[in-house]
Structure 1
Amino acid sequence: MKMMAILCLLVSVLGLVSAMPLVRLGRRHDPPATPIHLQFGLDPDGSYHCGDKIYSGHEIFLAAQYGINLLNADERRGKELYPQSFDDGTESRGIKFPSYCPANSMRYEFPLANGLPYNGGPDDTNTGDERIVFFYRNGDVGFDNHPVGSFCGIVTRKGAEADGFVLC
């Protein structure tokens, strides 16, 4: 009788555990790859020299798309939590962005990477020297209901003052 009770309890517990959703610890999910519109000046077929690297227009676009999709999912990547605001007095360091990229909390930076967009872990400090800078106001959408952001430029730490950037 006692053995039967233990067996019933074990079957009940196993049934509950098997009904629980599978969660993979330590694995983040990418945000949805929602298409975006990136306005102003980025040629997706072009190539851009920045610092000591060359990035395709497509790689730069993908970084902006990933960054905007992270913002919409209220997520960040890497130890520095990208995308992060890029409104920290950059004008005083000689960087002048177009007027459609004002220095406020809606102008963001996101690391550039060759190939796939940056997707650093919580301890990742290897973000490279180059960033895309884009302006995005949450809720701005185009005619097709996809997010609309503005390309402000790309920047690098190469040749900049300590903790600063220069426009590429």
Structure 2
Amino acid sequence: MKKIFYYETKIGKIGIVQNNEKITNIYTSDKLSSDGMEVIETPLIIEVYNQLNDYLEGKRKSFDFPIDPEGTEFQKKVWKELQNTPYGETLSYKDIAEKIGNPKASRAIGMANNKNPILIIIPCHRIIGKNGKLVGYAAGLDMKKQLLEMEKENKNKND
């Protein structure tokens, strides 16, 4: 059975979901639901929360815990590539399409981004339009902008 626990953070209320010994979802306040899940704070969920909090405080630039996002093979391929996008940097949907060997798949990349179940950890917020504009983010463009600005501000700290 999946487990979920809720926390209040700098970016609002989040829900962290664990299945077996891996994280499968991080929900923001607009998608919080514990239907079919046990609400319990596990050691792994606590660790994820602590790492996420450190990230939001500008003290962490990467994450170190097991994830298992649920999606199609194509989505998983995209999400795996997104994890290679450096902290404080942005790439376009076209850049990701080229990196996965499918240069005409920009629109499909956008759809996979939109379905990303583990926000922030799989950094889809770092993917922008080829014209440099912020486009689409499941948690809203304001949060996307906030995360990118925070990363830019903290990029050279603690190196």
Q: Which has the larger radius of gyration?
A: 1
Larger relative CO (CA 8 A, sep 6+): 1 or 2? 1
**Class of the TM-score when normalised by the shorter of the 2 chains:** under 0.3
State the TM-score, normalized to the length of structure 1.
Answer: 0.25
